[in-house]
Amino acid sequence: MKRIIYREWRIPPARYWGLLGILASVVVIGALAFAYMEHEGHWVTGMSNSVVWGTPHVFAVFLIISASGALNIASIGTVFRKPLYKPLGRLSGLLSAALLMGGLLVLVLDLGRPERLVVAMTTYNFRSIFAWNIFLYSGFMAIVIAYLWSMADRHGEPYNRPIGILATFWRLALTTGTGAIFGFLVARQAYDAAILAPMFVVMSFAYGLAIFMLVMMFTFTEEGRPIGERILCRLKNLLGIFILGVFYFTLVYHLTKLYGAKNHDLVGWLLLDGGIYTFMFWVGWVLVGGLMPLGIIYHPVLSKDRTWIAAACGLVIVGGLASMYVIIIGSQAYPMQMFPGHTVLASGFFDGVQGEASRYSPTIPEVLLGLGGVAIALLITSVGVRVLQFLPESLADDVLPVDEEKIVEQGPAGAKA
Amino acid sequence: MKDHHEPTDPTDAGPADSGRRAFMGVAAGITAAVVAPGVVLHSVTAAPRSEAVTSDVRWGLLIDTAKCVDGCSACVDACDRENGLNLQNKPASASQEHWDDQKAVWIRKVQLQDNQTGRVTNLPLMCQHCEHPPCVDVCPTGASFKRADGIVMVDRHTCIGCRYCMMACPYKARSFIHKAVEDQLTRVPRGKGCVESCNLCVHRRDFGEDSTACVDACREAGHEAIVFGDLKDPESSIRKHLAEMASRQIREDLSLNTGVRYSGI
């Protein structure tokens, strides 16, 4: 094992500025979309009094839980003492903070009164999970910055593990809190399930890792830094396990719902005749986000090909956005069950007349605002790796520390070697 | 040391001073004569507002669905007029369908059919003014609040427009103001980007009136399907009705102890 050297990302300036220009353009377009929606009001969006959280929330929640998941690699290295992952801890922390920033910006800019953010930061109702989350998010940002310092500065080294442990627990609380925003809403049938909180934790593992792997592969390949088979194989297998975890929770979520007879209609609608939401569930969430990447990851040939691994990561991200769309929008579109045993024949407020779901079509500004959040996360990451030493020079097999398992197999002598 | 605020001896005052004092006295008298009745009148009118709301009362509604007539929208129309909801204008570029999904609605008529018996019921549905309102629990800034007299409403100065209360309301009773409102009523201020819902005509409460716009309209239409009153007062009309007829809450399973009760569903 050699000493790990971290170095700034030194791709050619033209390429770097070109990349930055593209990302900045998307950010500016997102900002213009926000300005348009803020000026005109939410009537220019597809959101309504029935579907009150739209596409910006899909992006925001996806980015926020991915931020938590992106910190996985740092946690595994520090908290679980896996030296193999340690060299990637810095990138993991940076990406985590950047994704959180992107997600929070989208969330804040989608408020009806975004200029009252100061009210949200100074006036709290501590019964609200939303208010707790403000602390969880801001605390997470502070902890990740301290974590990065402990990884990068020699003086911070002694604090690295304690901060790492705190960061791990904090991010689990953060994702649980985000899941609980939905999981404890008794009003809506699809949400009234505490399992959403742990499901969001597992989803965060998968989506965060997929984004991390793509960013890692892109930054390393662009500059010609080597990535060894060992680390890639480990990350790929980890992604496979996380995808299986998402499947497990998805299955349990639906089985839990089916166990209550009152929810049969909901599950039937979602899985069989929910239109776009059924499509998003089977094609987006299950096929694109689960079965296809699993097929690649466990394929004897494709799993060796880096392009295919990157494709698997991309599919997980697309599937993740689809799953958020189903969870956030589908659950709102399904009519609220206010009168069990009755059919609504007419209503002046679209109370699911004849069981009909609420309408929602995302508008372009909503999508652009969401993409702006993604772009800002990538912009922060790009600038970060360019100006500071976040990326190790090499992830080649012979540079990385020995696997834990080998240390055990070879005994103390092997460990010394 | 001489106190600078020591009053001067009145005997020192010269003729000029006494003239000025006389003028001041007349001016003060005229001013008092002109302004005082206004002050008194104002203070008398505003008296109810100066008193803190107490939990000695709990306002509520009882809706007798047997009397709620199919096709009648008197309560909805009256609510719209009373609270300025009729002043909302559809943007020229918005489709009617889109606008119907987005405009604020505080009270709506719902028609139900019993799946077993086929019996059809009509009822008005609005904020249920829960004793334990989920919207208040989830509001991050505390903008969604419950008054001591049981009225659940939104403080539009601290509402940040996050719409979490709308996600949490089991009655879909809240509306988000999707666009700027040009014309509005001073008694019901309305701001783009905030959430609002039925407030049991709180302005009437604060001026001591004893009904709501929907109740009045229903009575005028000859149906008397809605009764308003103090749920804590055993002598109130609403309590007497509740004692006489079977009633229920919508989504009783949530144990929210709603202030709005229904009979006949």
Nearest to B102 among A48, A129, A336 (CB): A48
The CATH number given to A6-338+347-403 is 1.20.1630.10
Name the pLDDT band for B46 (thresholds 50, 70, 90). Answer: very low
Q: Is the pLDDT of residue B67 over 90?
A: yes
Query: Which amino acid is residue B263, in one-letter code?
Result: S
pLDDT value at position B208? 85
CB under 8 Å to B61, separation ≥6 — which residues?
Answer: B126, B200, B212, B215, B226, B227, B228, B238, B259, B260, B261
CB half-sphere exposure, A120, CA atoms < 13 A: 26
Nearest to B112 among A134, A185, A342 (CB): A342
Q: Is the pLDDT of residue A207 over 50?
A: yes
- State percent of chain B over pLDDT 70: 82
Taking alpha carbons only, the member of B52, B3, B68 closest to residue B217 is B68
Q: Are strands B195-196 and B175-176 parallel, antiparallel or unpaired?
A: antiparallel
Nearest to B110 among A42, A347, A358 (CB): A347
Q: Do B105 and A349 touch (CB under 8 A)?
A: yes
Mutation target to probe the A interface, by most A beta carbons within 10 A, among B167, B175, B214, B262 is: B167
CA distance A343 to chain B (A): 5
Q: Do A347 and B91 touch (CB under 8 A)?
A: no
Q: Look up residue B183 and give its DSSP letter.
A: S
Q: Which residues of B touch A358 (CB under 8 A)?
A: 101
Mutation target to probe the A interface, by most A beta carbons within 10 A, among B136, B144, B163 is: B163
Q: Which residues of B touch A345 (CB under 8 A)?
A: 111-113, 120
pLDDT value at position B39? 47
CB under 8 Å to A310, separation ≥6 — which residues?
Answer: A213, A214, A217
Grouping H, G, I as helix, E, B as strand and the rest as coil, residue A248 is helix
Distances (CA, A) of B38 to B34, B42, B49, B50: 8, 6, 17, 17
Q: Do B140 and A128 touch (CB under 8 A)?
A: yes
**What's the ipTM?**
0.92
Q: Is the pLDDT of residue B4 over 60?
A: no
Q: Which residues of B touch A187 (CB under 8 A)?
A: 134, 167-171
With beta carbons less than 8 A apart as the criterion, state whether B102 and A48 touch.
Answer: yes
Task: Record the pTM.
Answer: 0.90
Q: Is the pLDDT of residue B34 over 60?
A: no
Q: Do A41 and B166 touch (CB under 8 A)?
A: no
pLDDT value at position B42? 42
Each residue of B82-130: pLDDT tens digit?
999 999 999 888 899 999 999 999 999 999 999 999 999 999 999 999 9
Q: Which of A104-113, B8-17, B216-225, B226-235 has the lowest mean pLDDT?
A: B8-17
pLDDT value at position B3? 39
Q: What is the mean pLDDT of residues A337-350?
A: 96
Cα A231 to Cα A236: distance, rounded to the nearest angstrom: 8
Q: Which residues of A touch B170 (CB under 8 A)?
A: 186-187, 336, 338
With beta carbons less than 8 A apart as the criterion, state whether B171 and B251 touch.
Answer: yes
CA distance A20 to chain B (A): 32
Write out the two tokens for A177: 């809190």
Distance of alpha carbon A361 from the chain centroid: 23
Ordered strands of the B260-263 beta sheet: B226-230, B59-64, B260-263
With beta carbons less than 8 A apart as the criterion, state whether B198 and B228 touch.
Answer: no
Q: If residue B121 lies in a helix (H) or strand (E), which one and from where to where? A: strand B120-125
In A339-393, beta strands by DSSP E = 342-347, 391-392
Each residue of B119-174: pLDDT tens digit?
999 999 999 999 999 999 999 999 999 999 999 999 999 999 999 999 999 999 99
CA distance B163 to chain A (A): 7
Count of Cβ atoms closer than 10 Å to residue B251 Cβ: 20
Mutation target to probe the B interface, by most B beta carbons within 10 A, among A111, A113, A331, A332 is: A113
Q: Is the pLDDT of residue A406 over 80?
A: no
Q: Phi and psi (nearest 5°) for A272? A: -120, -50
Write out the two tokens for A231: 């680390």
Taking alpha carbons only, the member of B219, B163, B214 closest to residue A110 is B163
Q: Is the pLDDT of residue A115 over 90?
A: yes
Name the average pLDDT for chain A. 94
Greater model confidence, A15 or B11: A15
pLDDT value at position B5? 40
Q: Highest mean pLDDT range out of A218-227, B13-22, B86-95?
A: A218-227
Q: Do A120 and B160 touch (CB under 8 A)?
A: yes
Q: Do A112 and B163 touch (CB under 8 A)?
A: yes
With beta carbons less than 8 A apart as the criterion, state whether A372 and B133 touch.
Answer: no
Q: How many CB contacts within 8 angstroms connect chain A with chain B?
A: 184
Name the pLDDT band for A101 (thresholds 50, 70, 90). Answer: very high
Mutation target to probe the A interface, by most A beta carbons within 10 A, among B79, B108, B130, B172 is: B172
